[in-house]
Amino acid sequence: MSTHYKTIIVGGGITGCCAAYYAMQRDGADSVLLLEASDSLGGTAQTESMDGFTCEKGPNGFLDKEPKTLDWVRDLGLEEQLVRANQLAARRFIFRNGGLREIKPPPGFLFSKVLSLQGCIRLAGEPFIPQRVSEEEESIWDFAARRIGVEAADTLVAPMVSGIYGGDAKQLDLASCFPKMAAMEADHGGLVKSMLAKRKEKKSGGGSAMGPGGTLTSFGGGIATLINRAGEALGDCVRCNTPVQRISRQDEVYTVRTANGEDVIADSVIVAAPTHVATGMVAEMDADLADALDSIPYASMVVVCTGYDRSAVGHDLDGFGFLVPRTQEKRILGCIWTSTLFPGRAPDGKVLIRTMIGGAADPEAVGLDDDALLDLLRDELFPILDIQADPVMQRIYRYEKAIPQYTFGHQARLRRIEAAEERNPGLFFAGNAYRGVGLNDCVLSALRAVGRD
């Protein structure tokens, strides 16, 4: 006879591990089962050490502005292992017109050559742009171009979007990707007006609806520290190498059929697998739900971690890294100076650089072989950072479906998924495909699924 669990979690990435941990705290270890298709937990949140270099396959860290993520870290006993990024991380750059331009706060921004004089004047005119009254969806790029100008949209906003979502700013829905930015105009009439209102509110003792920016944070041993400790805490609740084939519901009880033909019973199921995987699991149970899940697209991504002798890199690497606008006709999206951000990520006398290639605008990049990718670095990255020799270490991670894309219609898709949750009580969908792609968003999604939001 099959064991009857209180909750089954499908998918052992960041979201699934967090959801399983708090379900276990609520109901006990014997009441929870986490099913993971691969041979290890974490999804893309994996850390690899090679020749003294520490390479992140996926998330590079998280912003410490979300208290619920920090609560999970403390509950796992990892607080003392947290590492905040070097203060140099505040320095960020844009590649434009053949060189790196530092993004500085006003008035230094006016002299940084990130934008032309005309672009700066247009940006400065943002307070005088009338508020949009239409309720139709608007892309991130259209919003930015309308409020701060086409040049700023192309040079500042579009590369930021590719850095976060790997996406095309002209195709992504503003309200889904950056709801707080949309609210700035809706509530105050514009970006500058909103910032002034928030500043006034803060001075009067009120809180800021925008919240602090936060500091990039990781662990001494990399982001996998979080996954490894979560796995230890979950113990026998975890079954790896157990793909889920089908989820069905009868008499208010869910049956989860695994790929080996086993049926596992539960009162509640939290699906924390990518939507393109979850689609097949629920197709027989709820066709409209499966269609909504299947309609969420993903962008591919290639992450290239390369280590160099410090003497071979002419640039000082004093900063977070840089992004590249598509208008500059480069295939690299940008790079992070990892060994500057966190201590111990590279051996003494070496540096570690993490370069992102591909995204929604360049889906063919994921198909490039190792030699082609390294040739691309030689052509595009080496001149920017004055790199004089090939890497002494290299690791390449390819993801054909890396980051969910909140394209037009995303809010309607969410409503369909939420409606399916209502007509199937006890069934929940959690992860980065719904309300945010960052690690913090995954934690909040997990807590929503276990009723702790």
Q: Strands, DSSP E only, in 59-150? A: 62-63, 82-84, 92-96, 99-102
What the block records as the tokens of 188 is 């105050």
Claim to verify: residue 156 and residue 189 sit in the same structural domain: yes
Claim to verify: residue 422 and residue 280 sit in the same structural domain: yes
- Residue 273 domain-assigned (yes or no): yes
pTM metric for this prediction: 0.94
- Residue 208 domain-assigned (yes or no): no
Is 444 buried (19+), middle (13-18) or exposed (0-12) by CB count in 10 A? Answer: buried
**Enclosing H/E stretch for 150:** helix 150-152
Claim to verify: residue 170 and residue 303 sit in the same structural domain: no
Domain coverage including residue 191? 116-203
Q: What is the pLDDT of residues 14-67, one digit of tens each?
A: 999 999 999 999 999 999 999 999 999 999 999 999 999 999 999 999 999 999
Claim to verify: residue 379 and residue 244 sit in the same structural domain: no
Nearest C-alpha neighbor of 271 from the set 261, 280, 262, 263: 280
**Type of residue at 161:** V
Helices 191-203 + 179-188 axis angle, to 10 = 80
Which residues face 92 on adjacent strands? Answer: 321
How many domains is the chain partitioned into structurally?
A: 3
Claim to verify: residue 312 and residue 387 sit in the same structural domain: yes
Claim to verify: residue 393 and residue 416 sit in the same structural domain: no
pLDDT of residue 208: 37
**Which residues in the chain show pLDDT less than 70?**
1-2, 202-212, 453
Claim to verify: residue 144 and residue 197 sit in the same structural domain: yes
- Residue 36 domain-assigned (yes or no): yes
Please state the separation of Cα 246 from the chain's center in Å.
28
CATH number at residue 31: 3.50.50.60
Of 172, 203, 234, which residue is a domain's last?
203
C-alpha torsion angle, residues 108, 185, 135, 292 (rounded to 10): 70
Residues 169 and 414: their CA atoms lie apart, in Å, by 20
**Type of residue at 193:** K
- Residue 276 domain-assigned (yes or no): yes
CATH number at residue 169: 1.10.3110.10
- Residue 97 domain-assigned (yes or no): no
Claim to verify: residue 286 and residue 340 sit in the same structural domain: no
- Residue 55 domain-assigned (yes or no): no
pLDDT of residue 107: 78
pLDDT of residue 60: 94
Claim to verify: residue 247 and residue 150 sit in the same structural domain: no
- Residue 64 domain-assigned (yes or no): no
pLDDT of residue 202: 67
Q: Backbone phi, then psi, for 56, in 5-degree steps?
A: -95, 125
Claim to verify: residue 317 and residue 435 sit in the same structural domain: no
- Residue 163 domain-assigned (yes or no): yes
Q: Are 443 and 433 in contact (CB under 8 A)?
A: no
Claim to verify: residue 421 and residue 368 sit in the same structural domain: no
Claim to verify: residue 392 and residue 411 sit in the same structural domain: no
CATH number at residue 365: 3.90.660.20
